[in-house]
Amino acid sequence: MLEALRQGDRRVAASAAIMGLGQLLHGQIAKGLLLIALQLSAVAFFVLTGGKMLLGFVTLGSVKANPAMGIEGDNSVILLIMGIFGIIVLLLYILIWRANIKDCYNTQKRVAKGAAPEKFKAELSSLLDKNFYKTALFLPILGVCVFTVLPIVFMILIAFTDYGGAVIPPELVSWTGLDSFRKILSLGQFAPTFFKILGWNFVWALLSTALNYLGGLGLALLYNKKRIRARAVWRGFPILAYAIPGFISLLAFKFMFSYGGPINQMITGAGGTAIGFLDLDAKWTARAIGLFVNAWITVPTTMLLATGILSNIDESLYEASRIDGASRWVQFKKITLPFVLFATTPVLISQFIGNFNNFGIFYFLRGGLYVDNYFLASDTDLLINWLYNLSIDNNYYAIGAAISLIIFIITSIISLAVYVLSPSYKQEETFR
């Protein structure tokens, strides 16, 4: 681009001033007119609506609506979304304008070499041939911008406003900078709860991932033994647990561990005292039940995955190791585990992230409790549950967005670090 600006002739300058003009001067009529039309469309867009969109993004509205009185007013949330859309259009315009300059400069170089400027038809044909990737990716990229980038950017930007609590449309939302993050990290009741939940969240994610992984691998190894009869039938049982929708399993477990559930019925029937497995005082019991229930739901997935991978291990490796006198434990440590680990590290990372953000387990098992020394949370809540309590139960959307941003940063760093340090990345060729 810089080269184009430095070395460009008067046609490139013309294209920089008015898109397509340089192409017209090169005799590329169709492309020139198309680009001029794009330039005019961009100007029309910003005249008619884009300008308002961008201003709305900055102010988030200035007139409070009163639907009962018929005063339409501004809706800050809509203004924010449309503002992001306006920015995306502006960026798109700049990209096209940049491409238009580069295109004109390329034509200048082509002409300097004695060739004629490329025909529009030939350029169109290249979109189905040499440049087909551009054609194929255009719509998906547009879709990703509108349906993925826009909502994510919206959610991120909410963290920098005062949206939530009493400030929801028709009240006007304002930009508050890093205020939400400051509250999370410094507010009297907030900070201790955040760090306590964060600590438990790490313990939970590590323990549950390890338990699910080792449980699944153990089951796969067990069902892989040739001496077990009707292995396919045994494999079917864990798959049954997997096939039942997760939240139904969770509600069933909640009932099983409740005071009126079958476990307590058996305890009281045998003359014992009912146990509050999931009640207010049941911090570690509830956490342990959460780990067990999560394993119940997730182990079958790991088992299936490991079963497939185990079938690919070269049997001669085991034969050779047996000849060398390796014990079963050594075989597992040196052959099975590295092989499975190599193939499943990305899955392991995704399981860790999934467990880190596992909303359902404690929401269904032990939702609706706020315990002492926690702000609007219980001692089994994960960050994602706390986020829900704050943003849905208590309408603190900005704080919720700030917490989700923190979760995103933590999980991204961990995923990247683990992946980059894993054999899957460092020793890509090992098992090829």
Partner 1 sequence: MKRTLPAAIANLLVIALVIVIFSGAFSGAAESAGEVSGRFDGVLEENTTLRILENDTAIKQGYFDALLTAFNAQYAAQGITAVDANMDSYLDLEQDGPYGYGPDVIYQANDQVMKYTDGNHILPLPVEQLDCYAQTAQTAWDAYTIGDGQYYGVPVNVQAPVLYYRKDLLPANWETDWDDDSNGTPDMLEDWGAMYRFSQQIKTESGGTKFGYMKSLYDTYFASGYLFSYGAYVFGPNNDTSDVGFAAGNAEIGAGVIRQLAGVMNEGCIDDTITVDCYSRLASGEYFATMTTPDLYTMFIRELQLVYTAEGLSEEDALAKAAENLGTATVPALPENGDLSDETSPLIPCKAMGGINGYAISSYTKAPDACLAFIDFATSFEMLLTRNEMLGIVPARSDAANSVGGLTGMVNQILGEGNLVIMPSSRALQQVWTPMETLLSDIAKDPFRPESEIKYPDLPSLKAGLEKADQQIYDAIWTLS
Instruction: Compute the CA torsion angle 88, 93, 99, 104 (nearest 10 deg).
Output: 180
Contact call for residues 96 and 37 (beta carbons, < 8 A): no
Q: Which amino acid is at 39?
A: Q
DSSP code at position 279: S
Phi and psi at 261, nearest 5°, equal: -80, 170
Q: Closest distance between partner 1 and the C-beta of residue 188, in Å? A: 8
Distances (CA, A) of 350 to 37, 353, 415, 427: 46, 5, 8, 20
Binding mask 88-107 for partner 1 (x = CB under 8 A): --x--xx--x---x------
Contact call for residues 400 and 376 (beta carbons, < 8 A): no
Q: Closest distance between partner 1 and the C-beta of residue 229, in Å? A: 43
Residues 274-303 that bind partner 1 (CB under 8 A): 274, 276, 278-281
Q: Closest distance between partner 1 and the C-beta of residue 358, in Å? A: 21
Rounded-to-integer distance, Cα 95 and Cα 135, Å? 16
DSSP code at position 314: -
Q: Closest distance between partner 1 and the C-beta of residue 20, in Å? A: 11
Distances (CA, A) of 323 to 17, 141, 320, 331: 78, 56, 5, 12
Q: Closest distance between partner 1 and the C-beta of residue 57, in Å? A: 10
Check residue 55 for interaction with partner 1 (CB under 8 A). Answer: yes
Nearer to partner 1, 90 or 304 (CB): 90
Ramachandran category for residue 229: left, alpha or beta (phi over 0 → left; psi -120 to 50 → alpha):
beta
Residues 207-236 that bind partner 1 (CB under 8 A): none
Part in contact with partner 1 (CB under 8 A); list of ranges 153-161, 293-301, 389-397, 407-415:
389-397
Q: Closest distance between partner 1 and the C-beta of residue 53, in Å? A: 8
Q: Closest distance between partner 1 and the C-beta of residue 131, in Å? A: 25
Residues 9-48 that bind partner 1 (CB under 8 A): 9-10, 12-19, 42-43, 46-48
134's CB contacts (< 8 A; 6+ apart) are 127
Residues 124-163 that bind partner 1 (CB under 8 A): none
Contact call for residues 350 and 367 (beta carbons, < 8 A): no
Q: Closest distance between partner 1 and the C-beta of residue 366, in Å? A: 10
Q: What is the DSSP string of 282-323?
A: -HHHHHHHHHHHHHHHHHHHHHHHHHHHHTTS-HHHHHHHHH
Check residue 54 for interaction with partner 1 (CB under 8 A). Answer: yes
Part in contact with partner 1 (CB under 8 A); list of ranges 26-34, 269-277, 305-313, 407-415:
269-277
Binding mask 248-267 for partner 1 (x = CB under 8 A): ----------xxxx--x---
Q: Which amino acid is at 272?
A: G
Nearer to partner 1, 44 or 115 (CB): 44
Nearer to partner 1, 110 or 183 (CB): 183
The site for partner 1, by CB under 8 A, has a size of 82
Residues 307-366 that bind partner 1 (CB under 8 A): none
